[in-house]
Amino acid sequence: MISRETHKTPQEVLAVLKAGVALIQKDLYQFNLSGLELQRANLHQATLIRGNLSKADLSAADLSGADLRAADLCQAILKDANLEGACLYRADLSGADLRGANLTTTKLLGARYDSQTLFPEGFNYKSSGAIGPNAYLNGAQLNTANLRHADLQGASMLGAYLGGADLTRANLQGARLTQADLRKAWLPGVSLRNARLNGANLAGADLRAADLTGVEFEQMESIAGADFTHVQGLTDEM
């Protein structure tokens, strides 16, 4: 095992991992390990909060119990990796390959995935608390969340709390937002095509240039102060 004090660069970390040295419980806070070959690396219970692991090859790596909060795992290869008990709150898993990974008791609340993310066969990612296409987020507490450009097509967000959330240019096509709280949410350029907003609260929401084509828009709780400048798809009746 090594200490952060003597190995402060990604190259040094890579060198010791290649030498078969374990980094168990080591502090790698905000380390940039993007694109590195880290197959079979032993990072058991390592701290990788806000680490950049995008496009890194972590095939068969031991990340059990690791703290990966807000880590960038975009397009990372995590095939057959051990993520048992790891914390991935708010991590970005867009385009990541998790086929064969051990996700037993992995904490995925608020983690981001997209249509390119590959999960283990049979894993119920839709109900894991992660955020992405077809996710089950009914009643989720997402106030002030950063969901810019999020892919939430077909997501179920009945009664979700999204007050003050940043959904700029997010894809919410076909999403179910019935009775959702969207007060003062940022929604400029968002796609809400064919979404259900019945009974939602849009008071003070910013919907500039949003696409509302085909949206269900009945019995709104409030639209007081909402900005509908340059929206698309709103009929006179709506």
On whether residue 140 sits in a domain, the answer given is: yes
- Higher local confidence (pLDDT), 7 or 194: 194
| Domain total in the chain | 2
Same domain, 114 and 146: no
125 assigned to some structural domain = no
Average pLDDT score over the chain: 93
* Mean pLDDT for the stretch of residues 135-156: 96
Residue 1 in this model has a pLDDT that exceeds 50:
no
Helix (H, G, I), strand (E, B) or coil at 14: helix
Domain assignment of residue 66, yes or no: yes
Domain finish residue from 54, 85, 120: 120
pTM over 0.75: yes
The predicted-structure confidence for 28-82, as pLDDT tens digits, reads as follows 999 999 999 999 999 999 999 999 999 999 999 999 999 999 999 999 999 999 9
Strand, helix or coil at 127?
helix
Q: In which band, very low, low, confident or very high, does the pLDDT at 2 lie, cut at 50, 70 and 90?
A: very low
Residues 135 and 115 in one domain: no
Supply the pLDDT for residue 128: 97
Q: Distance (Å, rounded) from C-alpha 117 to C-alpha 114? A: 5
- Full residue range of the structural domain in which residue 43 is found: 8-120
Q: Does residue 1 lie in a domain region?
A: no
Tell me: do 148 and 183 sit in the same domain.
yes
Q: pLDDT band for 22, please (50, 70, 90 cuts).
A: confident
Specify if 106 maps to a domain.
yes
Select from 76, 96, 120 the last residue of a domain.
120
Q: 158 and 82: one domain?
A: no
* pLDDT of 3 above 80: no
Q: Choose the final residue of a domain: 79, 95, 120.
A: 120
In tens, the pLDDT along 80-115 reads 999 999 999 999 999 999 999 999 999 999 999 999
Helices (H), ranges, the chain? 10-18
Of residues 218 and 111, the one with the higher pLDDT is: 111
What percentage of the chain exceeds 90 in pLDDT? 85
Q: What's residue 180's pLDDT?
A: 98
Is 2 among the domain residues?
Answer: no
CATH number at residue 55: 2.160.20.80
Same domain, 104 and 159: no
* Residues 146 and 232 both lie in one domain: yes
Same domain? 12 vs 83: yes
d(CA 166, CA 158): 18
Q: Cα 161 to chain center, whole Å?
A: 16
Q: Is residue 76 part of a domain?
A: yes
135 and 101 inside one domain? no
Residue 143 CB neighbours (<10 A): 15
Q: Residue 8 — pLDDT band, cuts 50, 70, 90?
A: low
- Asked whether residue 72 falls in the same domain as residue 161, the answer is no
Number of C-beta neighbours around residue 140 at 10 A: 22
